[in-house]
Structure 1
Amino acid sequence: MKRRGSTLFLKIVVFLLAVPILGMCIFLLPKIASEAANSDWEPAKYVYPILVVMYASAIPFFIALYQALRLLSYIDKNKAFSDLSVKALRIIKFCGVAISVFYVAAMPFFYLIGEKDDAPGVILIGMVLTFAPVVIAVFAAVLQKLLKEAIDIKSENDLTV
């Protein structure tokens, strides 16, 4: 019963991660696009590719959150050491890499905005948005490898009994 409490907490955390990003996609990004369209600010034309990347990166983000929820449900069902868990971690890893690739593609636009507006913080934000998913992808890859090894050891032990 204690495990379900901790997985419930983690499911709530996953939900709390999804809500602000969904709100940003629905409310904040269209507002930024309309303000960029109506402004005389010279780098405003570079905002649109970044917005496209932000919308595109939301798709693998939500896929990764869904896989995290599936992984937590596998834990609830005592199927944590299964190939389903390994598959969920693999998908999370690929989603992290995909998000990073999107933001690497957008880095020239972050650079152009930072250069035109003389704001090096914009480039730093682009770098954080690029490297944070890489960290998550590496963490998921390590967990995937450890879980696969644990499953192999478990199957060997089941065969020796």
Structure 2
Amino acid sequence: MMVKRGSTTFLKVIIFLIGIGMLALCIWLPEAAVRDARVHPDTAYFLIPFLVCAYGFCISLSVALYQAYKLLTYIEKSHAFSESSLNSLKIIKKCAFTVIFLILLGLVNLKVLSIVTGDDPAGPISLGLMGIFVISIITAIMDVLQKPLKNFLELNTEND
């Protein structure tokens, strides 16, 4: 299977740029949390669950990005139909489920915060639900890619 090296390199650059954005977010989050705690000291204790969810999100997404980078490397080396590729797809899918769980946890925390403060959380909740929808699509794509790969590997082991 011949893959143009330019397309995988482009995808690797995109993954690298997303990783840099994740690193910038992780560096910026504590400063924003401290600033918000100074402005709203009565609800500052709600920042801890948000930070836990945000850092869990960043870690899960970073692991998924690393696995996607490895998968692109396997594709470049013509090892797309290997056990390593299947493992990378499985890890990406697990990371996606973890991200969905963390978004749901953050939305529950947001709803509790809105009950305490009386604010309307419709905007952030709708953004969170859109994020869950997008990640669910990515998870479905990983599942669709994983099944034929798994069948191919099973057929090869039976024939050997």
Task: Answer yes or no: same fold by TM over 0.5.
Answer: yes
Query: TM-score under structure 2 normalisation?
Result: 0.85
Give, in angstroms, the shift of residue 99 of structure 1: 1.0
Matching of residue 58 in structure 1 with residue 23 in structure 2: no
What secondary structure sits across from 1:78 in the alignment? coil
Which moved further from structure 2: 57-66 or 141-150?
141-150
Matches of 1:148 and 1:2, distance apart in 2: 21
> Which residue does the alignment assign to 1:13?
14
Q: Deviation of residue 98 (structure 1)?
A: 0.8
Alignment-derived partner of residue 109 in structure 1:
109
- 1:1-161 pair list within 5 angstroms: 3-27=4-28, 29-40=29-40, 42-115=42-115, 116-153=118-155, 155=156, 159=159
Instruction: Report the residue type matching 2:7 in the other structure.
Output: S
Query: Aligned with 2:4: secondary structure?
Result: helix
**Aligned mates of 1:20, 1:85 — CA distance in 2:** 25
Which runs of 5 or more structure 1 residues have no equivalent in the other structure? none
Counterpart amino acid of residue 111 in structure 2: Y
Counterpart AA for 1:71: L
Give the whole-Å Cα distance in 2 for the aligned partners of 1:40 and 1:99: 28
Aligned length: 157
Q: Which moved more, 1:111-120 or 1:50-59?
A: 111-120
What is the Cα deviation at residue 45 of structure 1? 3.5
**Segments of 4+ in structure 1 off by > 4 A?**
41-44
Unaligned runs of 5+ in 2: none
Deviation, 1:142, is 1.4
| Amino acid corresponding to residue 90 of structure 1 in structure 2 | K
CA positional deviation for 1:112: 3.0
C-alpha deviation, 1:63, in angstroms: 0.7
